[in-house]
Structure 1
Amino acid sequence: MILRAVLRGGAFVVVGLVAFGAGVYADQALPDWIPYIANHQTGRVNTAELQDAIRVIQAEYVDGNLDTTKMSQGTISGLVASLGDPYSAYYDPDQYKKLQAAYEGRYSGIGVYVTFGSSYPLITGTVPGSPAAKAGLQSGDQVLKVGGRDASGMTAELATSLIQGPDGTQVTLTIKRDASTFDVTITRAEIQVPSVRSTVIGDHVLYVRIYSFGSTTFDDFASVLSTNLASSKSMVLDLRDNPGGFVDQADSVISDFVASGETFEEHGRNGSVTRHSVSGT
C-alpha cells in the first residue's frame, strides 16, 4: 500500500493508493471526489455546504465558546474517515509530530507494530526489548480493546493516540490469541526503534534484519555491510513483519543487490500505473 500525503498548516493527511511495494510519502492536493459533500454533477467538493454548516453552528450552538481549530480538524478527519479506507488517515499537528518521531525511530509508547487492514488491529511484531515484547505480545494477536474502548474498525491515528502516551503511564489492551481472550496492562516507555540489526551466525553467515524503512535505514544497512560483509561467506536478509516506510530507502537497499530493474508498481485512480525502477551500483 502506497501512502499519499499532503501537509497543510502543520497537519498531515494520508490517503491510500493500491500498490505493490513499500510506503512512500509525496505531495498531492486533496482529492476532489470525497463523498457526502461532493457535487455529484461536477465531482467537486461543495464548500458552500461546509460554510453553511459552520455558520449554523457558530450562530445557533448553545455554547458560544467554540474551539474553531478543533472544528476544522474534526471536519478534515471526518472527510478522510468517510473514505472507509483503513490506509487513509488524518493527523493533527500534534499527531504529525509523533508520526515524524516514529519514523526517526523514537517515540513514547509500548513498541508494537500494528496493521489495520482487518476488522480489529492486528499485531505484526514488537520492538526487541520493548514493553510490548516484555509483556509477551506476539505477531498475530488481535487487539479487541485499547484502554477499554472497542477497537473494531478503529482508525490508525486513533489507535496510535490511545496506545502511545507519556513515559511511565499505562495502557491496557484486550488481546485475542487463538481461542483465548485476555487483558494485558503495559507501562509505556521511551522507544528506540532499531532500523537495522545484524549478527554473524554459524560459519560466517551474516544475518541482517530490517525492521522498517525509516529515514536512516540505508545508511544503517550500508554500515553493517561495510563492517561485516568482507568476512562473511553468505548473508540472510530478514524482512519479516516489516511494516514498510520510505520507498527511497527500500530502493537504496535493493540497489545493493540488483543492477537494474523494476522494483514496484504504483496503481492510481482511473487505472493509471507508474512503474518505479532502480539502478544498482
Structure 2
Amino acid sequence: MESQTEVVRPPVGKRFSLKTLLLTGLLVAVVSFIGGTRAGSLAPYAPWLKPLLAPATSGGNLDLSGVQQVYDVLKRRYDGTLDPAALVEGAKRGLVSATGDPYTAYFDPAEAKAFMSSLEGKYSGVGAELARRNGQIFVVSVIDESPAKKAGLQPGDAIAKVNDQDATNWSVDKAVTEIRGPKGTSVKLTIVRGREIKEFAIVRDVITNPSVRFEITPGNIGILRISRFGETDTVNLARQAAEQFKQKNVKGVVVDLRGNGGGYLNAAKDVAGLWLNNKVVVSERRGGKVQETLKSGNSALLVGVPTVVLVDGASASASEILAGALKDNGAATLVGTKTFGKGSVQQIENLPAGAMLKVTVAQWYTPAGRNISKEGIVPDVIVDITPAQSTQGVDPQKDKAIELLSR
C-alpha cells in the first residue's frame, strides 16, 4: 500500500493567502533554484508572479528582481528552447523547497490528485502493503483480489529489485513510487522468500484499500490493523471493529500501527476517542504558543479494555498522535520499536488549476507535552523483528502483544 508520512488537515479555504505562503521562501536559494520567470512574457502562465516581481514594498512583497535577471540571461544566452510553463513550475517548487522543510511541498495537478487518492487508499498499483524493516523493504500484507495476490506475492517477501533496479537502500516512499503506475502497465518485482529468489511480472490495476482491517483471535483477542488515517473511512471502520470487540467481550485489543505513515489529524483524534472519554489527545503549537487543544468525545466504546499498540520506525505522524495519546492517558501499552518522529501538522491549500500546497502550519504535542520530532516515541516494551523472522512470516511483536493481553 502506498504510504505517506503525514498528519494533514483537509482544505478548509484559504487559511493563508498564497502571497503569505510564498514569503516562507529564502530569496537567495530561490534565485539559484528557480528556472526563472518574467512578469511580462510569463504573466499568462503565472499571473501571481507579476506583483511579486516588483521591488519590495511595505506591503511585504518579495523582491524577485534577481529572478527576472536570471530569466533575461537565460532568454538571451540559453542554447535551446525555454518552456515558460516549466519555468513557472520550477519557480513554485523553488519557493517551497527553499523553506528547508521536508514536509512542506508543492504538487502539480497530477501529483495533487495522486497524493489525495493515496490518503484515501485509492491508487493504481499492485495492492501490496510495504514497510521497511531491518534495512529491507518487506511486504506486510497483500490485498485480497489484488494483482499482487493473484500473482502470488506473500507477506514477508523482501523486495530486492523493482524493474531490475536495486531496491535495497530505498525508502518505502521510493519503492511505492516505482511500483505504482498506470492501470494496465506491468512492473517487475524481484523478491527474496526464505532462501529463494523469485520474479513476478504484475499488471497494475486500480486499487481500493480499506484503511482498517480487524479480526478476533481464537483466544478472544481483538486485532485492529490501521494502515493509514483516511478522511472518510477510517473512523467508521474502526468504530465497527470496536463494536464487534465489545459484543464479543474480548480480553484485550491489539492496535497495529506498524508501517502507518499517518493521514488526517481528525481521524487520529476520533480513533483515540474509542478509548478516551473527554481526554486531551493532542495540542497544536505555533511559534511555541498553544493554538488548539484537541480532546476526544464522550463515547469511548473500549474505555478500560486492556490495549496494546504495535509501533515501529515507520509509524509516523498521525500514528504517533494516536500512540502518544493512548500511552500518555494510560489507556495502552506500546510494543515494538521506536517510532519515526514527526511532530508537525500540515495544512492542504488548493491552488489554481488543480495544483496544491502542503504547508507545515504547527507542531503537535502529546498530552504529556512532548513534541516527538526526530525523537520518536520509545515503546514500553521493545521487541525487534529480525530479517529471518520477517521472511518467515514470524511476528514476535504481535506475539508479545497477545502474550501481554492473555495474562
- TM-score, structure 1 as length reference: 0.67
SS state at 1:37 partner: helix
Residues 229/181 of structure 1: CA separation in 2 closer, same or farther (3 Å cut):
same
Kindly provide the amino acid, as one letter, of the partner of residue 220 in structure 1: L
Is 1:91 the counterpart of 2:84? The answer is no
Deviation of 1:23 (Å): 0.8
Aligned to 1:23: 7
Which residue among 83, 90, 93 is the counterpart of 1:74? 90
Partner of 1:248: 266
Q: Find the aligned partners of 2:172 and 2:246 in 1 and give their Cα distance.
A: 42
Matched residue, 1:234: 251
Change (3 A) 1:70 1:127: farther
Counterpart code for 1:89: A
Tell me, in whole angstroms, the C-alpha distance in 2 between the residues paired with 1:169 and 1:181. 23
Match of 1:8 in 2: none
Deviation at 1:93, TM superposition (A): 0.2
Instruction: Give unpaired runs (5+ residues) of structure 1.
Output: 1-13, 17-21
CA contact (8 A) 1:144 1:152 kept: no
Gap change, CA 1:150 and 1:258, over 3 Å in 2: closer
Name whichever structure is richer in strand by fraction: 1
Q: How large is the Cα RMSD of the aligned pairs?
A: 4.5
Q: In the TM superposition, what is the alpha-carbon distance from 1:254 to its structure 2 partner?
A: 0.7
Which position in structure 1 is the counterpart of 2:143? 128
CA deviations on 1:28-74 (whole Å, 9 max, x unpaired) are 52452436137xxx99854222233334334544444x433222223
Q: Percent identity?
A: 26
Find the aligned partners of 2:93 and 2:192 in 1 and give their Cα distance. Answer: 29
How many residues align? The count is 254
Show the counterpart of 1:261. Answer: 279
Residue 111 to residue 50, structure 1, CA distance change in 2 (3 Å): farther
Structure 2 residue ranges without an equivalent (≥5): 32-55, 299-407
- Post-superposition Cα deviations, 1:193-249, rounded to whole Å, max 9, x if no partner, equal 111112232254433222211012112222333455223333424233222100101
2:293 corresponds to which of 273, 276, 281: 276
Amino acid paired to 2:213: R
- Cα shift readout 1:162-203 (whole Å, capped 9, x = no counterpart): 43211231234577999x999765432221111111223225
| Cα drift, residue 107 of structure 1 | 1.0
Distance 2:136 2:284 in 1: 25
Matches of 2:102 and 2:163 in 1, distance apart? 17
Quote the offset at 1:97 in angstroms: 0.9
| Alignment correspondent of 1:11 | none
Which residue does the alignment assign to 1:4?
none
Supply the AA of the counterpart residue of 2:271: V
Specify whether residues 50 and 161 from structure 1 end up closer, same or farther in structure 2 by C-alpha distance, changes over 3 A only.
farther
